[in-house]
Structure 1
Amino acid sequence: MKLVHVNEPRLEFFNGTHVCPRRGISAYGVYDRNSQTRRTNILLGAVGTNKDLEEFSNLLDRMSHPIHGASEDHKSNLFPDFCGFNSKAGFHSELVFNEDLGRKLRQLDIEKVVRIKDRVRRIDEAINLYYEEVKFLAQNRPVDVVVCVLPKAIFDAVSKDASAEGEEKLEESIEVRSEFNFRRALKAKAMHLGKPLQLLRTESLTSGGKGQQDDATKAWNLATALYYKAGATNPWRLEKNGGSSLSCALGIAFYRSRDKKTLNTSLAQVFDELGNGLILRGTPVHLEKGDRVPRLSEEQSYTLFKAALEEYRNAMRTYPGRVVVHKTSNFSDPEIAGFMSAAVDLHIDTVDFVTVMDSRFRLFRNGGYPPYRGTSLVLNDQRQLLYTRGSIWYYKTYPGMYIPQPLELRVVRSDQSPAFLAKEILGLTKMNWNNTQLDGKYPITLSCARKVGEIMKYLDDNDRPQIRYGFYM
C-alpha cells in the first residue's frame, strides 16, 4: 500500500499546453484552429418567445467581447475572464444569429400547454411545440445548432408535477410511473433532423440571477458547448504521451426502459486520442432473476466490441494498438472472453479491463480541505483509490460543495502500471465539452455513456441514433 500523487494532465491547444481548458483557449487558441473542417461562422437557430430571442441575441453580443471573471485575486484561476467569442482570439470563430434564424413561440400556445393538467400530455404538447419549430429550422435554414429557450412558465410546466390536490388514484400505490423527461425526449425526437440542440432557461440569458454562475463561467461553458456541437473537431485534446501506438477507451453502460421494469440496451462510447467520440447502441440485455448486476453475454460482448472498433477504423483508417474498456461493475468471464475474441480477430495488440466505481473509503488531510485531486492510494496492482475531485493547486482551493468521494479502480487485466491507469482516468475526466472546469469526476467514457443512455431510452428500435456525442450533451 502506498500513497502517491498523479500530476494534473495537460491539455493541448493550437500552439501551447495548459492544465486548464479556459486558460488554454485564451492563451493558445482552440486546438483545431487550423483545421479545414472547422466552423469559422457558427450559425445558430433559436426557438423562444419574442422577448427570449431578443435576450438571446443580446447574450451573443456580450459573448463576442471579453467578460470579466471573479474580482478576487485568489479566485482568478477558478473564475478567469472569458476571452470573447470572435475571430481574433480564443475560439477564432463567430456565433451568428439573426431574425431569419429565429422561430417565435406565441404566448397563446404557451398558455395552452401550461393549462394542461395531465403531466404526460402537458410535456408531450410542450415537446411538439418546440419540435415543429426545430424541424422548420433544420429543414429550411442553414443552421449548425438549434437553441431552445425555455421561459419560466414552460420550464415549470415540464419539470413539476401539477396534479390536482385531493385527487386520488387507487392504482398509484402499485403503478410504476413511466419516466417522461422533457429534455431527453425532445433531443431524442429531434435527433433524426441532424441538428444538435442546446436548451437554455430564460433566466440564464441575463446576469445576476439567484443561484446562477458568474457571467464569465456561463459564457465559457455555453461557448465551448456550442463550438463542439456545431461540428468543429475539438477545442482541446489530451497532451500526447510518448509512444506511437494509437489507443482508445471504450465505456460500457446499461440503461433501463422508461417504465424501469426491464433492462433495455447496452451501449458503448469510443474515444480516440483526439477525444472524438462515437455512440453505439448494443442489444437488449437479459437480467437473471435476483441478479442486480447486468452483464453481457459472450456473443453480445464480441458484437459490441467489434462494432465499436470498426467505427474507430472508419474514422482513423486503422485499428488502435491498445484498447482500454471501462465499466462501472465487475467484468464477467463471458464478457472478457467475448471482448478478447473480437480483439484477436481484429488483431488488437493489447486490451485492458478496468472497473471504475464510487468508493466508500475516505482519506483525510490536516486542516479543513479535502485531499488534492490526483491523490491515489495504491492498495495493490489490481486496486487503487483515485481522487478526481478534491483540492486543486491551480485553483488554490477546493471548488466543490460536498466532501469529495474517490473512485475505486479495479484492474481486471492490464499490462500498464497503476500510475499509468490513474493518469489516463484523470485525463479522461477533462474531456467533457459541456463543462470547462478542469475537475470532472468521472472519465468521459462513462459519464458520456450514462448521458447517452438517458436519451437513448426514448428512441424506438427502428430509430437510428446519431453517433456523435454532441447530440446527447
Structure 2
Amino acid sequence: MISVVSDKLNIELDAFIRSVSINKSSPHSLLIGAGASITSGIPSASNCIWQWKRDIFLTKNQGLGDQFNNITLPHIQQRIQEWLDYEGEYPESGADEEYSFYIEKCYPIPRDRRRYFQSIIENKKPYIGYQLLALLAGAGVVQSVWTTNFDGLVAKAALNSALVTPIEVGLDSIDRIERIYTRGELLCVSLHGDYRYDALKNTENELQVQDRKLRLALINHLKTHNLIVSGYSGRDHSVMAALEEAYSYSGEGRLYWCGVEESEPNEVVSRLIKKARENGREAYFISTSGFDDLMSRLATHCLESVWNDKVNELTKEFSLNKVSPSFSIDSTKIGSIVKSNVFPIDIPTEVLQFSAPLLKGAGTWQKVMELINKKNVVAVPFKGQILALGLVDELRDVFREYVDSEIVRTPISSRELSYEDGVIISLLTSALVKSVVQSNTHLCTDGRNLIWDSTVSHQERIQGQYFNVHEGVLLYIRQIKGKHYVILKPTIKGSTINGEELSVEVSKELKRSVLQKQYNQKFNAALMKWRSKIISEKSVRSYDFPAGCGSTFKFHIKPAPLYAKLTSSSGRNEITVPPSMEKYISLSGMHFNEPKLLFSSHSGQAGVKETHPIRGVLHNRPYDFSITQSAVAREITIGVICPEADSGKVSSYFGNIHMRRKPETNTEYLMEFPGFMQAFGTAIDIPQPNQNNWFYCDEPTKFMDQKHGAIELARHICDALDRLNINSAPNVVVIYIPARWRIWEKYNDIGERFDLHDYIKAYCIQRGIATQFLREETLRKPQQCQIMWWLSLSFYVKAGRTPWILDSLDRDTAFMGIGYSVDTSASKGNQIILGCSHLYSSNGLGLRYKLSKIEEPIFRGKNPYMSQNDARRMGESVRQLFYESLSRLPRRVVIHKRTPFQKEEKEGLLQGLAGIENIDMIEINIESAQRYVSSVMKHDGTFVEDGFPIRRATSIILENQKALLWVHGTTEAIISNRKYYQGKSRIPAPLVIKRHHGNSSLSTIAREILGLSKMNWNTFDLYTKLPATIQSSNEIAKIGSLLERFGPMSYDYRLFI
C-alpha cells in the first residue's frame, strides 16, 4: 500500500503507473468525463457552451459568421462574452448554471436538444484511448467504467475489440448493476449527472429515483474498488456529491484523480481528496497528458506480453508505410536561367583510420585540434577512432603518444557524405582549404573552411575606427543527387591596422557594413574572382593533400558552375537556351505567383484580394471591418507605462499616429500613412499624461549593479501593469524604455539569464495583457512613416483585430509549426526541453498552440528531438486542439519544423494524428551556402547578370524530396515597371525545404510556405524570411519556457507578439 505520510496531494505519473501495475489483480474502476472523448471527435462541455454562445450571438448579429469561426481563440471568446455581458440577461462567464442555461436558451424545445446531442455523437468512432481501455478490461485490470458521457464509446470499443463483452447499465436498465462480475465482461454505467437533455431536477420522479439508485451503487462499489478518474473536471454537482459520500466511509478502494497537465488539483477535487484521507482512505492527484496517453501508459506497463502484442497491432496501422513521390516541375516553358556558386568536384574516396584509446571523453575534439595545429595533416575523432588525411608517417609522428593500432584505409560511404555538418565533410573541407593555401602563397586559412587573401583590399571605418578588409571565401562540400560539389561563398576577413584579430562583435559589424552592398552583379564578380584563384576559368584544377607530396588524397574541381533553368507558372517571357549552354544546366526550377491576401471592401460586404498588405488596408478595409461596422468592436484603447521624466516627449510622439506622413525612404514599397482612423477605419484612444490609462514607472535605484537593477526595473514595470490593468484594462499597453535603461535590459549571470522583454511578456501573457515595447531610439529614427504603419498595425492586431487573412488554396488543410526551447544554461541531462505546437488554419490564421515538456528528449548535436512517445503525445494533444478549434479533423495537415523529422518522431506523430488522411512533414531551414545569381538574356542570346537578385517565389529542385525556395527576393514595386528588393542587402539566401513524409507536390508546399510568410502580423513588410508557422512556434516556445511551471493554459498567441 502507498501510505499517506504527508499533506501533499500529488504523486508523480510514473509512480501512479507502477502502483496500478503492481496492484493489477485488485479491482479497478474508471470514472470518465467528456475530456476522454474529445480526440474521438466529441466536443467537451466547455466547447459546447461556447458553441451555444456563438450561435446565440450570430443569430442576433447577422453577417458576422466569418469573423467568429473559431470560438476557441481568446479574443473571439472575449468579444462574444462582452456582448453577452452588455445584454445583461446572460450568466457571468464561468457560472455553474452556464451549461444548462445556454443549451436551453439556444434550443428551448426539448426534442431539438436531443437532436443536437445526437448529431455530435453520430458516426463517432472510439479513438486509441478507448481501444486500449478495452484491452485493459479484457485483461481484467479494469472491471467497470462509470461515466456521465452519453456517446457510448466505451461499449463500442469493447464490442470492436472482441475481447470483452460490455454490460451497459443506465436509467432504463438499472437491475444490471447487481450483476456479479465475470472475467471477460465490462460493466459500463451511464450516470445522468446534473444535466443531459433536461436538468435532473426537471426529469420525471421515477428517473430521479433510478439515478439515485445508480449513485448509491457507485458509493457501495467504491468501498472495495480502486477508482481512476480521467477526462472529468468535477463540475457535476450530483456526481461529486456521490463521490464525497462514498469517501466519507472507510474502505479499501483508493482514489486516483488524474488531471490534464495541472500541477495541482482544483478546489473541488482537492476537497474530495482531503475528505477521503480524513476518513482513512488513500487518495491522490496525478498530472497527466490526457486520457489517451494515460491508457497508453497503463496498457504498456500493466499488460502481459500477449496483450502487448495486441497494443502493437492497434498502432501498426499508423506506421510509416508510404513512399513519397519525387518533387517535379510541371511546366516546360523556360523563363530564365540562374547561375550558382556550386562547382563539381571529385573528392577522395577513402580516409585513414586508427585507434587512440587515450583520446576519449570530454575535450577530445579540442585535444585533437591542438595536436594537428600547424601540422600537415587533418584529423577528427569519431566513435572512439581517429579519422585522418595526410601522410601515414606524419600521422604516426603527430599522434605517437596515442596511436594504439595500425593506420588503415577505410572507404567513405555516400551516407556519410550526406551529413552536411558531419565529421567526414569537416575532414575533407579542412584538407581542401589547406591544400589550396599550400598551392597559393598569398592565401591564408583558418584550417576549417575560410580562405582569405593576405593582401589588404581596403580599409573600412566602423564606430569611428578603421580596420583592414581582406577578400575571403568560404568553402563547403555538398552532395547533390549523388554527385559531389564544392561551394564558393565570397566573404571578407577583417583585422586591425596592426594585423591583429578582431572581436566577434566588431567582425560581425564589419561584415555587415561591407557585404550588405555586395548586390547581384558585385557578388558574381567576387565569385568569378575566387574561381580564377582557386579553380580556373576553363580547365579542371587538381589539388592533392598534402600539396606536392604525391599523396593519393586528391581533389579535382571543374570550372563551370551549376546552372538552373526556371519555368514560369504563367508561361510569359519564354526564352530559348543556346545549345552551348544546355550542357551546363543540370537543375530545374519554377517561379510561382505572389500569394494574395484577403481584405474587406469599404462596404464590409465583400472580400477583396491584394498582394501588398499596406495597399490592401489603405485602398480597402481590414478583413474584419464588418465587426467595426456592427459596433460589436468599439474603439481601440491604449494604456501607457512611462517614466515621468519622459512623459512629455512620449505623449507628443503619440500625436503622430493621427497625422499624415509621406515615406522618407523605401518609396518603391511604402505608401503614405494617412493616420490611424483613415487607415484602419476604427478609432483609437491614446491617453495623455495624468489620465486614467497613463501610469508612471519608477526608475531603478541609482548606482545599482546590472543584475539587481534589472530585477528592480522589472518589478517596477510589473507593479505599474497591475495598477493599470485593475484601473481600466486597455486593449494594448505601451511600455516605454528610455535609452538610459539599456544596461538593465539583459544580464547573463552564472547559471541565470534575464531578458527584460521576455520576462515582461511572460508576466503579461499570464494576465491576458497585450503589450508593445517602445524604445527611445525609435522616436529619433528618420523613417517615421514606416514606424507609424508598423506601430498602428501592432495596436490593431494586439487589440484582437484581424487585418488580413490568406486567400487559401485548400480550405480543408491546416498547418502546424513545431518549435523548441532548450535551457542551455543547465548541465547536459538536466535541461528542460519545452516543445510548442502551434496550429494555423488554411487561411493562415493562428489557432491554438500547445506547450508541453519533452519527457524523453533525444539530443543529436545541440538539437533536441522527440522520442516516439513524446511525438505521439504531441500528436494526440494536437488532435484534440483540432477538434476544439475546428470541431473536426482536417483532411490534410502540414507540419513545419527547423530540424529533421527522425523516424521516431514520424512514427509518433502519425500515431497521434491517426484519422487524418494526408500528413506532410516539412523541414525548413535557411540555406547557409548555396547562392544563385540572377541573369537576363540580351538580344544576341547571351546572358548577363541582372542588377536585381533572384525573384521571390522561385524554387529549384535539388533531390527527390529536397528543394530550394526563395521566400526572400525581388518582387514588383508599387511603381509600375519597377522592381523591389526588401531590405536591399546583398543577395538573398533561399530556404532549403525537405519533405520527410507526405505526398503533396512541390508546387503546393512552396505556395503554402510563401503564403504563410505573409501572415506575420508583427510587421507590414511584404513577407518575412520564414513562414509564420516556424516563427511563432519558436517564439512561443522561447517565452513559454518562462511559463512552464504554470500548467497547460493556452493563451492568445497575439500576446507573444
Whether TM exceeds 0.5 here: the answer is yes
- Please give the secondary structure, in 1, of the residue aligned with 2:720: helix
CA distance in 1, matches of 2:589, 2:885: 39
Larger Rg: 2
Which of 724, 728, 742 does residue 155 from structure 1 map onto? Answer: 742
- Please give the secondary structure, in 2, of the residue aligned with 1:29: coil
Query: Residues 221 and 309 from structure 1, CA distance in 2 versus in 1: closer, same or farther, beyond 3 angstroms?
Result: farther
Report Cα offsets for 1:90-136 as digits up to 9, x if no partner: 3111221221101012xxx4151x5211x222211111010000111
* Aligned equivalent of 2:623: 31
* Aligned equivalent of 2:800: 231
Q: Please state how far the C-alpha of 1:398 moved relative to its aligned partner.
A: 1.9
CA distance in 2, matches of 1:134, 1:56: 18
Q: Please state how far the C-alpha of 1:317 moved relative to its aligned partner.
A: 2.7
Q: Please state how far the C-alpha of 1:439 moved relative to its aligned partner.
A: 2.5
* Aligned equivalent of 2:971: 392
Query: Residues 374 and 251 from structure 1, CA distance in 2 versus in 1: closer, same or farther, beyond 3 angstroms?
Result: same
* Aligned equivalent of 1:55: 649
The question of 1:123 aligning with 2:710 is answered yes
Which structure dedicates a bigger proportion of its chain to strand?
Answer: 2
**Structure 1: gaps of 5 or more residues:** 162-174
Query: Residues 454 and 379 from structure 1, CA distance in 2 versus in 1: closer, same or farther, beyond 3 angstroms?
Result: same
Percent of aligned pairs with the same amino acid: 22
* Aligned equivalent of 2:139: none
- Please give the secondary structure, in 2, of the residue aligned with 1:282: strand
* Aligned equivalent of 2:765: 191
The question of 1:11 aligning with 2:597 is answered yes
The question of 1:91 aligning with 2:680 is answered yes
- Once the two structures are superposed, the pairs formed by residues 31-430 of structure 1 within 5 Å of their partners are 31-35=623-627, 39-70=633-664, 75-86=666-677, 89-98=678-687, 99-105=691-697, 109-112=698-701, 114-117=702-705, 119-159=706-746, 176-204=750-778, 206=779, 209=780, 212=781, 214-232=783-801, 234-241=802-809, 243=810, 245-257=811-823, 259-261=825-827, 262-274=831-843, 275-288=845-858, 291-344=861-914, 347-359=915-927, 360-365=929-934, 366-394=945-973, 396-400=979-983, 401-430=985-1014
CA distance in 2, matches of 1:304, 1:20: 36
The one-letter amino acid paired with 1:423 is R
Query: Residues 94 and 312 from structure 1, CA distance in 2 versus in 1: closer, same or farther, beyond 3 angstroms?
Result: farther
CA distance in 2, matches of 1:320, 1:434: 27
Query: Residues 426 and 289 from structure 1, CA distance in 2 versus in 1: closer, same or farther, beyond 3 angstroms?
Result: closer
Query: Residues 132 and 46 from structure 1, CA distance in 2 versus in 1: closer, same or farther, beyond 3 angstroms?
Result: same
**Structure 2: gaps of 5 or more residues:** 1-586, 602-607, 935-944
* Aligned equivalent of 1:171: none
Does structure 1 conserve the Cα–Cα contact (< 8 Å) formed by 2:961 and 2:995? Answer: yes
CA distance in 2, matches of 1:125, 1:138: 20
Please give the TM-score of this superposition, normalised by the length of structure 2: 0.40
- Please give the secondary structure, in 2, of the residue aligned with 1:120: helix
- Please give the secondary structure, in 2, of the residue aligned with 1:409: strand
Query: Residues 463 and 3 from structure 1, CA distance in 2 versus in 1: closer, same or farther, beyond 3 angstroms?
Result: same
The one-letter amino acid paired with 1:49 is P
Q: Please state how far the C-alpha of 1:159 moved relative to its aligned partner.
A: 4.4
CA distance in 2, matches of 1:463, 1:248: 26
The one-letter amino acid paired with 1:264 is I
Query: Residues 397 and 316 from structure 1, CA distance in 2 versus in 1: closer, same or farther, beyond 3 angstroms?
Result: same
Q: Please state how far the C-alpha of 1:465 moved relative to its aligned partner.
A: 4.8
- Please give the secondary structure, in 2, of the residue aligned with 1:222: helix
The one-letter amino acid paired with 1:330 is P
* Aligned equivalent of 1:166: none
The one-letter amino acid paired with 1:136 is R
CA distance in 1, matches of 2:860, 2:746: 33
CA distance in 1, matches of 2:651, 2:859: 54
Larger deviation, residues 30-39 vs 136-145? 30-39
Does structure 1 conserve the Cα–Cα contact (< 8 Å) formed by 2:833 and 2:857? Answer: no
- Please give the secondary structure, in 2, of the residue aligned with 1:34: helix
Query: Residues 111 and 122 from structure 1, CA distance in 2 versus in 1: closer, same or farther, beyond 3 angstroms?
Result: closer
Does structure 2 conserve the Cα–Cα contact (< 8 Å) formed by 1:374 and 1:386? Answer: yes
Q: Please state how far the C-alpha of 1:179 moved relative to its aligned partner.
A: 2.0
Does structure 2 conserve the Cα–Cα contact (< 8 Å) formed by 1:3 and 1:376? Answer: yes
CA distance in 2, matches of 1:158, 1:93: 34
Does structure 2 conserve the Cα–Cα contact (< 8 Å) formed by 1:180 and 1:258? Answer: no
* Aligned equivalent of 2:1037: 453
CA distance in 2, matches of 1:253, 1:214: 33
The one-letter amino acid paired with 1:124 is I
CA distance in 1, matches of 2:646, 2:622: 30
CA distance in 1, matches of 2:739, 2:667: 32
Does structure 1 conserve the Cα–Cα contact (< 8 Å) formed by 2:642 and 2:736? Answer: yes
Q: Please state how far the C-alpha of 1:190 moved relative to its aligned partner.
A: 2.5
CA distance in 1, matches of 2:1047, 2:704: 29
Structure of higher RCO (CA pairs closer than 8 Å, 6+ residues apart): 1
CA distance in 2, matches of 1:337, 1:357: 22
Query: Residues 300 and 13 from structure 1, CA distance in 2 versus in 1: closer, same or farther, beyond 3 angstroms?
Result: same
Please give the TM-score of this superposition, normalised by the length of structure 1: 0.87
The one-letter amino acid paired with 1:139 is I
- Please give the secondary structure, in 1, of the residue aligned with 2:815: strand
Does structure 1 conserve the Cα–Cα contact (< 8 Å) formed by 2:897 and 2:923? Answer: yes
The one-letter amino acid paired with 2:685 is V
CA distance in 2, matches of 1:471, 1:186: 11
Larger deviation, residues 130-139 vs 391-400? 391-400
How large is the Cα RMSD of the aligned pairs? Answer: 2.3
Q: Please state how far the C-alpha of 1:319 moved relative to its aligned partner.
A: 2.4
Does structure 2 conserve the Cα–Cα contact (< 8 Å) formed by 1:10 and 1:17? Answer: yes
Query: Residues 90 and 308 from structure 1, CA distance in 2 versus in 1: closer, same or farther, beyond 3 angstroms?
Result: farther
Does structure 1 conserve the Cα–Cα contact (< 8 Å) formed by 2:921 and 2:995? Answer: yes
- Please give the secondary structure, in 2, of the residue aligned with 1:461: helix
CA distance in 1, matches of 2:597, 2:618: 13
Q: Please state how far the C-alpha of 1:203 moved relative to its aligned partner.
A: 3.1
Does structure 1 conserve the Cα–Cα contact (< 8 Å) formed by 2:643 and 2:699? Answer: no
- Please give the secondary structure, in 2, of the residue aligned with 1:148: strand
The one-letter amino acid paired with 2:963 is Q
